Each structure stands twice: as C-alpha cells, then as structure tokens.
Structure 1
Amino acid sequence: MKTIIKFKQVVIVLALLFFILNFFLFSYGQKLLGPRLEDNGVENRIVEIKSGYSLNRIVDKLYEEELINSPLAFKLYLKLKGKSTNLQAGYYQLNPTMSTIEIIDRLIKGENAYYRVTIPEGATVEEVSSIFHMRGLDRERFLEVAKNIDMNFLENREDLYYNAEGFLFPDTYKIPYGSSEEDIIRIMLREFQKKIRDLEEGIEESEFSLHQIITIASMIEGEARVKEEGPKIASVIYNRLDRGMRLQLDATVQYALPQRESRLLYRHLEAESLYNTYRRDGLPPGPINNPGIDSIKSTLNPVETDYLFYVARGDGGHIFTRTYQEHLEVQRGLR
C-alpha cells in the first residue's frame, strides 16, 4: 500500500515538474518569439530581402536590424511550421513592436512595403521627375523613360518633348519600394487608362484624337485657376481654332521656356518653340502638363459661347470677352 502511495506521489511530482517546465519553456518561447520592443512610438523600418537570400542571411539581417529576439527561435518556428522555404523576396515595412510570428507571416505573404506620392494636377513630366527624385530615384533616367516610352495610346513623335507628357495621371499613388523609374511611369499610365474609361464614348465621338484632347485639356489645366472656368476656357480654345486664330495661351509659352517665369514679358512671347502658340498656328505638338480629370471633362464638354478672349482678374478668375475691343477695354480697366 505504501509503495502505491509513494508511486502516486512520484507521478504527481513528475507531472508538476513537467507542467512547470512546459510553462517556463512556453513563457520563454513566447518571449523569444514576442516583440523586440514594447514602445509603440518606434518608427517603421524598410527592410529589403533580396532574391536568392538564404534563410540564415534573412534571419541575420532581421536580427541586425533589431527586429527579432532570437535567430534560433525564428528558424525553429519556421521548421516546425514547415515553411522554411516560403519567405519571399521584396521590401517590407517592419517594426520592433511586431512579434516574430507577425514578421514571418508578412514575409510569407509577400506583403511588400510601399510609399505614398501625390502628383498634383498640372505637373509637368519634369516636375513629376523631381518629386520622385526626392524619393531617391534617378531624375535623368525618369526623363529618358518618359521621353521614349511606348504604349498603344501614346504617340511616338520627334516633336514631342516627352511621349508620356499629359498621360501621367495626377493622383496619390502607393508605390512599392524598389520600383524602377519605368515601373512608376507604367503605373501612372495604367492609372490614366483606368480613369478615362468612363469618358471613352465622348472621346470616340469627338472630332479630335485622344492625343489632341489631352493636349487641349493640358492647356485648360495650365490656364484655369478656377476649376469652374474650365468649360469656358475650352470654349475659347475651340472658337479660336474654328476661326483660324492663334491660341496665344501663356501656359504654352511657360512650357516652351527653359524654366518657369513668375511673370511673362513680351520677349518671352517670342520664344522659338513649336509649343509657343503665340508664334504657331493651331494646337501645340502635344500636352504641356498632366491634366486632371476635370480639365479632360471640360475639353469634352465645353459650354457654347462666342468668347474669343479672356483676361486674368488677379484673384485667379478671368473676365471673358467676345471682341478684341472689349478685350482691350477690360485690360485698361484692370490696370
């Protein structure tokens, strides 16, 4: 009887020790697999996992970046789950407050990090290139791609400054880290295609080609400081084209100049460029900026007027007139 009691006691003690050991192992494992830091104010880090990295190299990199507590625990967890070869290359946004399990999950799913970039309406290709240059991209390479890129809706002509001008749709983009200059331009061109899908019927019914429509829209974007005036400015452009008058738009002169001027002088209007509508008849060879959707809609839906001129008021708006005499009188009244 005593032997049985002692055996039961030994079993209880062993079970207790086993429980305590498992508890400590579990707690220790949780600590090793837990977050490196508890402070939620820690900034995210962008970590690049290159194609061809071995598991050891990935683990070493994460440990050097102080993102995981234990390289051994990281590898053991992966092996236990049978996912040692499932980690994907890419750029990842990681944080020391993330657990090892969360980091592993992100690397297995290939959840690449991205950054946000806002391209304002009316920005030129060169201005867009400067925005991305601030993100570390090669400005000259960006311009080279924008000049020569070929897609089925773009016109590839020598008289264009950039094939992509007018078609880099202004918007806020989520750009995956590691994207090349060409990747980014193609992302923006595809966004343009997506955004004008609802306008395809109007474009097909127009007497102008898509390239000409975007050229006109870019001039409206460059001239209109008040969005509501877009359809009126479109009307002036069409009226002048119908009468064989030169467009004489300041925005085209700005595009023709080596750098933007705060105020155009008469000498600037003499700039020798196919884009200078003070010296050239008809439309310029192509767009002079990347217009927003409102300017494209204004191009397709101008109001019917007999306006041929407009003068800036100084508050962003314009006064529209029908005759050159009225135009001169408005100018005198604004001096």
Structure 2
Amino acid sequence: MAINKWLKKSTIWLLTIIIGIGVFYFSYQLFKPRNENKMSAQVIAIKSGTSLNEITNDLYEESIIRSPLFFELYLRIRGLTTEIKAGHYRLTSKMSMLDIIDKLIKGKTAFYEFTVPEGMTVKEIATKLSNYGFNSKDFLKIVKKKKLKWLPERSKVNYNLEGFLFPATYYLSYDSFEKDVVKKMLEEFKERINPLQMEVKKSDYNLYQIITIASLIQAEAKLEEEMNLISSVIYNRLKRGMKLQLDATVQYALDKHKSKLFYSDLEVDSPYNTYKNYGLPPGPINNPGIKAIKAALNPAKTDYLYYVATEDGKHKFTKTYKAHLRVQKELKDK
C-alpha cells in the first residue's frame, strides 16, 4: 500500500511538473515575436476610446502578435488595460510581446521622416507631402495666405511663406495636420536664422530681401564655392540699377521647369521676371538653405556683373558685357 501511495503521489508530481513545463513553454512561445525570420512592419492606428479587444484583434490580424487572447489576458493580469495610449505605432512581427506593450504604454508613436532639400519651392513641398497622405491644396492655402508678425507686408507674391519653410529633415507624427508641418518648418527657419540676426541688421537689405536674394543664389549656384561669387553679381547689378536677368526667376514665373528657356519665355508677364523688371522679384522663388542665406549676407568683393554656366556646372564670371559675349562664343564653339 505504501508503494502504491508513493507511486500515486510521484505520478501526480510528475504530471504537475510536466504540465507546468508545458504551460511555461507555451507561455514563453506566446511572449516571443510573431515571426523572427521575416519582418512584417505595420503602422497601427489606435484611436481614443478603442476597446482592448479591438486593439488585440488588430494586432493579430496585422501579424504583430501571436495570440490576442494571451495578449489581452496578460494586460488584465498586470492591470494595464487602461494604460495604452492613443496614436499611430510602427510595430513589427520581430518585436516581442513585452516590447510591443512597452511601446503602447509609453506612447512611443510612429513618425514620418520627411526631408525637404535646399531650393524646393512650396509647390514642390506640397507635392511631396501629398505622398505622405497630406492634402496638398490645404497646405498651399496656408502658405499662400498666412502672415507673419516678424515679416513686412508684401504684395504680388505667389505665396506668403515661400522662402521661409526651412529645408531640413523633419519627423512628423502620423497625427500631424498641414498646419503642424508649416509650424515646424517656420520654427526651424527662426532657429536657424536667429544667430545671423546681427548680420541682417548690418545689411542694407531687410530679412525678406535677404531671403529673396538667397533664393536666387540657391537656384543659380550649382556649387557651394560659387555662391558668394553669384551673390556679388546680384548685388553689383542692383547697385548699378541693372536688371538682374536671371533665368531662375523666369522658371518660377512660368510655374513649370523647362530644361531650356527660349527668348519667348523671357517675355513672360510676371513681377518675378527679372528680364523685364528692375530690382528684386517681389519675393523668394524657393526655400534656400543656410549656405545660400550666408552667401546673401556675405557677397564676395568683386566687380563681376555677368556669369555664364559651363557644361560641368561651374560658371565663368566676367566684368563687362563684351567679355561676357566672348566667353559665350568660346563655350559655344567648343
């Protein structure tokens, strides 16, 4: 009887251990990533008021978690059912269940990485934003009409904010609206321009004019080392009361990029056309980077009045129209 009793107890203990190991192994498997070998990345939107059951089912259907039942049970046992933050989350099938929960509890929401290259126009920025789901028309309405206290009133400009949406890489939350993007870009501009305020005050031109000149430099210069030289040409022509005659302003006036301008294009009726109008255009023709802005504040000291582009992207600078024509002929005859 004693042996039978011992065998019975041993069997129960053995079964308990086996079941315990089985439960532990099964639970361990559920904690593991859904797929460690093949990553499936998804941006999951969790709206305010979404039920825990809806969240877990969405995560399962998007191949992020192994078991919605176990996921929900774990959260309930830990008392975390009300701790999940609303927002957009970038989650992958290679993340463990605990990593996923940590993200959702801490509100580590997903971001767009949105890069604006130097020299982009507001219309080009709007087109790029539309690829991320933003409404390009709403964006253009804002940049067209929005006024800034720290800028003088302007007339005849295509867009009030052209020139002041600073080119940089931005991290935008999936909950962002067009106005949020504009706000970020304006804040970046103010932060970048702030260290240059003393130089702006010393200049004969105000901030709006400086940014306009910088946009011309940005559009005309292919090489950074030539920015100060092109800046000097612009200032020299302005001082002499000459028309700037810059192709980039015609391109902006045409509202489309042409690989080659014709003489008929130079006749386009627009205040931005510096072949027909004296002085600076009414506003910037793109959004210049900090190097172009610095070149606008620090033109090289030259007597250059002309330049012509060469095939390698460089420019030949000359002081007289006669020399300018000679260089054009030399380049054409090559």
Shorter-chain TM-score above 0.5? yes
Q: CA deviation at 1:6?
A: 8.6
After superposition, give the CA deviation of every residue in 1:27-48 in whole Å (9 maximum; x if it has no partner): 2222223222222x32311111
Q: CA deviation at 1:79?
A: 2.0
For 2:153 and 2:28, how far apart are their aligned partners in 1? 60
C-alpha contact 2:40 2:63 (8 A) present in aligned 1: no
For 1:82 and 1:204, how far apart are their aligned partners in 2? 59
For 2:9 and 2:147, how far apart are their aligned partners in 1? 78
Paired position in structure 1 for 2:296: 299
C-alpha contact 1:156 1:163 (8 A) present in aligned 2: no
For 1:295 and 1:223, how far apart are their aligned partners in 2? 10
Q: CA deviation at 1:303?
A: 1.0
Q: CA deviation at 1:21?
A: 3.2
Paired position in structure 2 for 1:321: 318
Paired position in structure 2 for 1:215: 212
Q: CA deviation at 1:175?
A: 2.5
Moved more, 201-210 or 259-268: 201-210
Alignment counterpart, residue 196 of structure 1, candidates 167, 188, 193: 193
C-alpha contact 2:271 2:281 (8 A) present in aligned 1: yes
C-alpha contact 1:154 1:164 (8 A) present in aligned 2: no
Paired position in structure 1 for 2:278: 281
Paired position in structure 2 for 1:230: 227
Paired position in structure 2 for 1:34: 32
- Over the aligned positions, Cα root-mean-square deviation in angstroms equals 2.2
For 2:15 and 2:72, how far apart are their aligned partners in 1? 28
For 2:41 and 2:192, how far apart are their aligned partners in 1? 32
After superposition, give the CA deviation of every residue in 1:236-290 in whole Å (9 maximum; x if it has no partner): 1111111121211111111111322211111111111111111112111110011
Q: Give the letter aligned to residue 248 of structure 2.
A: A
Question: 2:322 aligns to what SS in structure 1?
Answer: helix
Does 2:78 align with 1:65?
no
For 1:43 and 1:162, how far apart are their aligned partners in 2? 42
Q: CA deviation at 1:231?
A: 0.3
Paired position in structure 1 for 2:18: 20
Structure 2 length as normaliser, TM-score?
0.91
Q: Give the letter aligned to residue 320 of structure 2.
A: T
For 2:151 and 2:160, how far apart are their aligned partners in 1? 6
Question: 1:173 aligns to what SS in structure 2?
Answer: strand
Q: CA deviation at 1:230?
A: 0.4
Question: 1:196 aligns to what SS in structure 2?
Answer: helix
Question: 2:170 aligns to what SS in structure 1?
Answer: strand
For 1:66 and 1:7, how far apart are their aligned partners in 2? 49
Q: CA deviation at 1:14?
A: 5.3
C-alpha contact 1:36 1:97 (8 A) present in aligned 2: yes
C-alpha contact 1:148 1:156 (8 A) present in aligned 2: no
Alignment of 1:97-246 (within 5 A): 97-154=94-151, 157-246=154-243
Paired position in structure 2 for 1:91: 88
Structure 1 length as normaliser, TM-score?
0.91
For 2:80 and 2:157, how far apart are their aligned partners in 1? 52
C-alpha contact 2:305 2:320 (8 A) present in aligned 1: yes
After superposition, give the CA deviation of every residue in 1:70-104 in whole Å (9 maximum; x if it has no partner): 22211221122222111111111111221221111
C-alpha contact 1:252 1:277 (8 A) present in aligned 2: yes
Q: CA deviation at 1:17?
A: 4.4
Provide the aligned length of Structure 1 versus Structure 2.
332
- Report percent identity of matched pairs: 48
Q: CA deviation at 1:23?
A: 2.5
For 2:206 and 2:183, how far apart are their aligned partners in 1? 21
- Structure 1, unaligned runs of 5 or more: none
Question: 2:120 aligns to what SS in structure 1?
Answer: coil
Question: 2:45 aligns to what SS in structure 1?
Answer: strand
